[in-house]
Structure 1
């Protein structure tokens, strides 16, 4: 019987995001390509009575984050307990490294790591497929945090198909001190499409261009840079013109290409190699920008320590 289990799950970047028109259920159908980054979250589940959560000191300020039943990691542990019939007994400790509210799936990674850690601690022995199915009940990005690697996501982004990938892609992530409202960004996209609907035509079944998948399969950062796409980028830049300036700065100082990550405000810059990414990160920092280096793909949620 384990006394504690630590699981690690990755943050992500969307290298392509196609958004369909607003559906009757109030959601937009999506087609996206997730790439898991080595910017990770660790969740340690200790044997305890009842369910609790705290944040360990680390590089991310977590003072404003909830630790009650609204926290996604707590919800994940409780869902696992309810599904398996095991008592919801665990003290969770989270070490955060993924920026908060940056569109990089940090909360989803917490949930994925909590599922894997509690499954191992409690000996509930769910399959990876079972864990992915549970993850889908917690949020659209959580199944990918369990799966990791590179995947094509459809539906709300939670129906996953693995994508063959060669090599490692090097990124510089430019962070913003001011968050963005995802619903506001989607609304701006809807308004733009309504205004220009006659010219644009309906987007019923969003698709990812084949060249994105070809670039990943070839491990070719130059080809991938040319194929980066995000339907939410234009509305995000419209709402936040300062992001456009930062995007231009990165693309004129060594990045192969830059992209708004998801609905923003994080910007992802793809470099040709690790040395190029390191140089770009240093240039951003000299200009006063807050940046993080990352690379991927990396595996999904997995146990890294137990005793």
Structure 2
């Protein structure tokens, strides 16, 4: 019997994300960089099933090489389950099953989505009723992207990205994603960015320790206007990701030639997100990229965060 068929399993779905804007400031004393980003949750999901058990265990399925997903405490979902148990004084275990669709190490927060879904699933399974504020606090302890996966929608993230302010974005935005067969290490991309900045002689306070999202980005989102959004999308990590994986530059050009308004590396990469004028335009871009041998996924945003499906 599969996890999806078990009557005692709690099924929670959480979305992957793209970074519509990502400004990276200086490295802080805690090792993290100051960020100003705009997250958008998109319709590519991670599904987490939680079932009663005497101990903690984790299994994985989906479009993923199982060897790339740790099954122990290195996995954010496992750590999320144990955090809920610790916070609520639960002495039971849980059997977690992850059905993955978001690219692993792809800059789309798949692991963070797993963690957010595991928080919600375990809270429901054990009836701990921790509430949204406590779950947000636990999410913040797990990683900078986990709180956003919990809430979804479109939001401005500051600090390490965990300090969220909902952004008014009433329209639908259509994206075509081009994933990569091999992921990129987020710490490695930040390290390369630091190296690039050191080579050009950045001062200690340049880039700044605190950042703001440009008003033009927020205005385009508020207007629901992809044409206005396209020219103001920026990712400070993109140059580092392209330096690590030069093929990304060619893919960015291919998507624009196929009719996308613009393309951007999502987060630390290597997944590329192409913004399109609407659903029909996105399907046309997807078809063009598929025709030249690229994997291409049509998704839309914004969608809700982690939520119980059954």
TM-score by length of 2: 0.93
1: CA distance, partners of 2:282 / 2:90: 46
2: CA distance, partners of 1:260 / 1:82: 37
1:182 counterpart residue number: 186
**What do the CA deviations read for 1:25-54 (whole angstroms, capped 9, x no partner)?**
222111111000110111111122111111
| SS, match of residue 24 in structure 1 | coil
Ranges in structure 1 where 5+ consecutive residues have no aligned partner:
none
User: Given the alignment, which residue of 14, 17, 25 partners 2:30?
Assistant: 25
RMSD over aligned CA atoms reads 1.6
Given the superposition, is the C-alpha separation of residues 198 and 189 from structure 1 closer, same or farther in structure 2, using an over 3 Å criterion?
A: closer
2:271 counterpart residue number: 266
User: Given the alignment, which residue of 292, 295, 307 partners 2:300?
Assistant: 295
Given the superposition, is the C-alpha separation of residues 93 and 158 from structure 1 closer, same or farther in structure 2, using an over 3 Å criterion?
A: same
1:170 counterpart residue number: 174
1: CA distance, partners of 2:175 / 2:55: 40
| SS, match of residue 223 in structure 1 | helix
Given the superposition, is the C-alpha separation of residues 123 and 216 from structure 1 closer, same or farther in structure 2, using an over 3 Å criterion?
A: same
Q: CA deviation at 1:257?
A: 0.5
**What do the CA deviations read for 1:144-163 (whole angstroms, capped 9, x no partner)?**
00011011111111111111
Q: Is the 2:252–2:264 Cα contact (8 Å) retained in structure 1?
A: yes
User: Given the alignment, which residue of 116, 136, 139 partners 1:112?
Assistant: 116
Q: Is the 1:77–1:88 Cα contact (8 Å) retained in structure 2?
A: no
Q: CA deviation at 1:83?
A: 0.4
Query: How many equivalent residue pairs?
Result: 303
Question: 4+ residue stretches of structure 1 with deviation over 3 A?
Answer: 197-202
Q: CA deviation at 1:67?
A: 1.4
Given the superposition, is the C-alpha separation of residues 255 and 69 from structure 1 closer, same or farther in structure 2, using an over 3 Å criterion?
A: same
Given the superposition, is the C-alpha separation of residues 201 and 69 from structure 1 closer, same or farther in structure 2, using an over 3 Å criterion?
A: closer
For 1:188-227, what aligned pairs fall within 5 Å after superposition? 188-197=192-201, 201-227=206-232
- Residue 6 in structure 1 maps to residue 3 in structure 2: no
TM-score by length of 1: 0.94
Given the superposition, is the C-alpha separation of residues 181 and 93 from structure 1 closer, same or farther in structure 2, using an over 3 Å criterion?
A: closer
